[in-house]
Structure 1
Amino acid sequence: MPYLNARDGTRLYYEEAGSGTPIVFVHEFGGDHRSWEPQMRYFTRRYRCITFAARGYLPSEVPEDVSRYSQDIATDDIADVMEALGIEKAHIVGLSMGGFATLHFGLRYAERALSLVVAGAGYGAEKQHEAYFREVSLEVARKFEELGSVEFSKVYSTAASRIVFQVKDPRGWQEFATQLSEHSAVGSARTMQGVQAMRPSIYDLEANLSKMAVPTLIIVGDEDDHCLQPGLYLKRVIPASGLVVLPKTGHTLNIDEPGLFNQFVSDFLATVEQDKWLPRDPRSMPAEIMKTT
C-alpha cells in the first residue's frame, strides 16, 4: 500500500492513476479516499489523479493527540502530498471538509494551485450558527467515541443533507453509509474536535479571499441548505469564481450526481487551462440594476 509522510511524520495513504496535469482530490468528513472513485475513473482519462485518506482516516495514521488535527494542518497535508509526489502545481478539488481545506490551500499556497473546486463548503460558516456548529461538532465527536463508528454511522449518515441522496440513489447511499461505518472512531472524533469545531468561518476570511486570484469553481446542492448562502458569498467575494447549483442535490455532491459534477468540473478545468477563466469584469458588478445612459 502506498504511503507518504506529512511534515510532522504522520503517515498518509494515497492512490494515484493516470498521467498529465495533476488533480488532487480532498475528501469530506463523512467520506474518505474511496469517495472520489467516480472522479478517479473519469478524470484519469486525461489527468494524473491523486486521492488520499486524511490523517485520522484508515488506512492513514490515526494520531491520538488532538493537537495533530487542525484546519492549518489539513491544508498543509495537501501540500505535503504534492511535495512527496513531486508535484509543483495541481488542480485541487475538495468536498465539504475537503472544500474548506481546498479554500485555505488557495489562500496559503496560491502559487501551487492551478485552480480550486470548492464543493459543499459551508457548514459552520454562517455566523448565526457558528456557536451551535461548534457545540454539535463536539457532541458528534463524543458520540463517535462513545458508540463507535458502526453504530453512530447509522445516525450520521441520515443527517438532513444526506436524505436526498438516500431517496435518489439507495445503493449509492448505502455504500457511503457502509464506508462511514468503517472509519476509525478515534480519528473521526479527533477530526471533529481539531478541525471541524475549530476552523474559522469563511466570512472572517473576506479580506484575504477578495484578493485570492486562483480560478475557483464553487459547487453546492440546492437541498444542502447550510451551503447555499456560503456558496453565494464565496461567489461574490472571490474575484475569479463561478457558482454551480445542482438541482435536487444534497451534500454528497460528487457521488450524488457524479455525471453533472464531472461535467462541470471538466468544463471548468478546460477553461482554466485555456486561460479563459477570468476575474469578473468590473462593468458587470451588481451595483447596477438597469442602464440608462
Structure 2
Amino acid sequence: MPRATTDDRVALHWEETGSGEPLLLIHEFGGDSRSWHPQVAHFARRYRCLVYNARGYPPSDVPADPGAYSQQRAVADAVAVLDAAGVDTAHVIGNSMGGFCALHLGLRHPDRVRSLVVAGCGYGAHPDAADAFRATSQDLAARYDTDGAVEVARSYGASPARLQLRAKDPAGYAEHLRILAEHDVTGAALTMRGVQAARPSLYALRDELAAMAVPTLIVAGDCDDDVLDADLMLKRTLPRAGLAVLPRSGHLTNLEEPALFNGLVEQFHAQVAAGRWA
C-alpha cells in the first residue's frame, strides 16, 4: 500500500492505476479516493491515474492537532503525493474541496500542473455568503463531534445539491452515502474547521488568479446554486479558463454524469495537447 509522507510527517494513502501521462484526482469533503471510480475506470486506459485520501481520511493518517489542517496543508499534501509517485507534472482534477485544492495547486505550484479541471468549486467563496458558510461549516464540525458520521451522513447527504445523484443513480447515491458515513469523526470535524471554514475567499485572490496561466476547465452543475456565481467569476478572471455547465446536475457531476464529465475532460486535454486552449 503506497504511502506519501508529508513535511509534517503525516502519511497519506495513495493508489495508481494505468500508465501514460499522470492524472491526479483530488476528492471532495463528502467522499474519498473511491469517489473517482468512474474516472479511474475510464482514464486508466490512457493515463497513469493517481488517487489519494486527504489527511483525516483513513487509511491516511488522522492528525489530532487542529493546526495540521488548512488549505495550505492540503496543497502541500497534493505535492507530496506527486513526489512520492515520482511525478514532475500532472493533469489535475478536483471536485469541491478537491477543486479548491486543485486551484490553489495551480496558483502555488504552476510548474507541477499541466492542466486543471476544477469542478463543484465555489461554496462560500462569494463575499455575501462567506459568514453564513463559515457558520454552517462550524456547525457541521460540531455535529461530527456530537452525533457521529452515520447521523451526519443522513442529513449532509440529503442536501439539495446532492439529491440529483439519488434521482439519476440510486445505487451510486447509496455508495456515496456509505462512504460519507465511514468518515472519521475527528478527521472530518478538523477538516471542516481548518480547511473548509478557514480557506481564503476566491474573490480575494482575483489578482493572483488573473496571473495564473495554467489551462483550466471549470465544471458546474446548473442545480448547484452555491457555486455558479463564483464559477462565472473564475471564468472571467482566469486567462485560460473555460466553463462547462451540466444541465439538471448538482454538486457531484463526476458521479451524476460520468460519461459527459469524462468526455469534457478528454476534449479539454486534447485541446491543451494541441495548443488550442489559448
State the alpha-carbon separation in 1 of the partners of residues 116 and 267 from structure 2. 13
Which structure 1 segments of 5+ residues have no match? 279-293
CA offset digits 1:33-72 (Å, max 9, x no partner): 0000000010011010000000000110011111000000
Q: Report the counterpart of residue 49 of structure 2 in structure 1.
A: 49
Paired residue secondary structure (1:124): coil
Q: Report the counterpart of residue 82 of structure 2 in structure 1.
A: 82
The reply to whether residue 223 of structure 1 matches residue 218 of structure 2 is: no
Query: How far is the alpha carbon of 1:274 from its aligned partner?
Result: 1.5
Question: In structure 2, what residue type is equivalent to 1:181?
Answer: A
State the alpha-carbon separation in 2 of the partners of residues 50 and 78 from structure 1. 10
Q: Report the counterpart of residue 7 of structure 1 in structure 2.
A: 7
The answer to whether the Cα contact below 8 Å between 2:28 and 2:99 also exists between their aligned partners in 1 is: yes
Paired residue secondary structure (2:49): strand
Which structure 2 segments of 5+ residues have no match? none
State the alpha-carbon separation in 1 of the partners of residues 157 and 41 from structure 2. 25
Matches within 5 A, 1:187-198: 187-198=187-198
- Larger radius of gyration between Structure 1 and Structure 2: 1
State the alpha-carbon separation in 2 of the partners of residues 128 and 154 from structure 1. 28
Question: In structure 2, what residue type is equivalent to 1:4?
Answer: A
Question: In structure 2, what residue type is equivalent to 1:149?
Answer: A
State the alpha-carbon separation in 1 of the partners of residues 3 and 23 from structure 2. 18
Q: Report the counterpart of residue 284 of structure 1 in structure 2.
A: none
CA offset digits 1:246-280 (Å, max 9, x no partner): 001000111111111000001111111122111xx
Query: How far is the alpha carbon of 1:2 from its aligned partner?
Result: 2.0
The reply to whether residue 59 of structure 1 matches residue 59 of structure 2 is: yes
CA offset digits 1:216-256 (Å, max 9, x no partner): 00000000001111111100000011000000100011111
Count of equivalent residues: 278
Question: In structure 2, what residue type is equivalent to 1:117?
Answer: V
State the alpha-carbon separation in 2 of the partners of residues 215 and 118 from structure 1. 11
Question: In structure 1, what residue type is equivalent to 2:154?
Answer: K
Query: How far is the alpha carbon of 1:152 from its aligned partner?
Result: 1.3
Question: In structure 2, what residue type is equivalent to 1:86?
Answer: G
Q: Report the counterpart of residue 135 of structure 2 in structure 1.
A: 135
The reply to whether residue 30 of structure 1 matches residue 60 of structure 2 is: no
CA offset digits 1:8-34 (Å, max 9, x no partner): 110100110111110000000001000
Q: Report the counterpart of residue 179 of structure 1 in structure 2.
A: 179
Paired residue secondary structure (2:183): coil
The answer to whether the Cα contact below 8 Å between 2:3 and 2:84 also exists between their aligned partners in 1 is: no
CA RMSD of aligned residues (A): 0.7
State the alpha-carbon separation in 1 of the partners of residues 221 and 152 from structure 2. 25
State the alpha-carbon separation in 2 of the partners of residues 155 and 226 from structure 1. 18
Paired residue secondary structure (1:259): helix
Query: How far is the alpha carbon of 1:166 from its aligned partner?
Result: 1.3
State the alpha-carbon separation in 2 of the partners of residues 269 and 184 from structure 1. 35
State the alpha-carbon separation in 2 of the partners of residues 230 and 152 from structure 1. 27
The answer to whether the Cα contact below 8 Å between 2:96 and 2:119 also exists between their aligned partners in 1 is: yes
Q: TM-score, normalised by structure 1?
A: 0.94
Q: Report the counterpart of residue 121 of structure 1 in structure 2.
A: 121
Q: Calculate percent identity across the aligned residue pairs.
A: 48
State the alpha-carbon separation in 2 of the partners of residues 213 and 256 from structure 1. 30
CA offset digits 1:154-198 (Å, max 9, x no partner): 111001111111122211111100111011011100000100000
The answer to whether the Cα contact below 8 Å between 2:271 and 2:277 also exists between their aligned partners in 1 is: yes
Paired residue secondary structure (2:129): helix
State the alpha-carbon separation in 2 of the partners of residues 79 and 169 from structure 1. 33
Q: Report the counterpart of residue 273 of structure 2 in structure 1.
A: 273
Q: Report the counterpart of residue 199 of structure 2 in structure 1.
A: 199
CA offset digits 1:84-130 (Å, max 9, x no partner): 11100001100000000000001000011100100000101011110
State the alpha-carbon separation in 1 of the partners of residues 264 and 111 from structure 2. 24
State the alpha-carbon separation in 1 of the partners of residues 183 and 13 from structure 2. 14
The reply to whether residue 91 of structure 1 matches residue 88 of structure 2 is: no
Q: Report the counterpart of residue 162 of structure 1 in structure 2.
A: 162
Query: How far is the alpha carbon of 1:133 from its aligned partner?
Result: 0.5
Most deviating of 268-277 and 212-221: 268-277
Question: In structure 2, what residue type is equivalent to 1:259?
Answer: A
Matches within 5 A, 1:103-122: 103-122=103-122
The reply to whether residue 248 of structure 1 matches residue 248 of structure 2 is: yes
Q: TM-score, normalised by structure 2?
A: 0.99
State the alpha-carbon separation in 2 of the partners of residues 86 and 181 from structure 1. 33
State the alpha-carbon separation in 2 of the partners of residues 123 and 207 from structure 1. 20
Q: Report the counterpart of residue 70 of structure 1 in structure 2.
A: 70
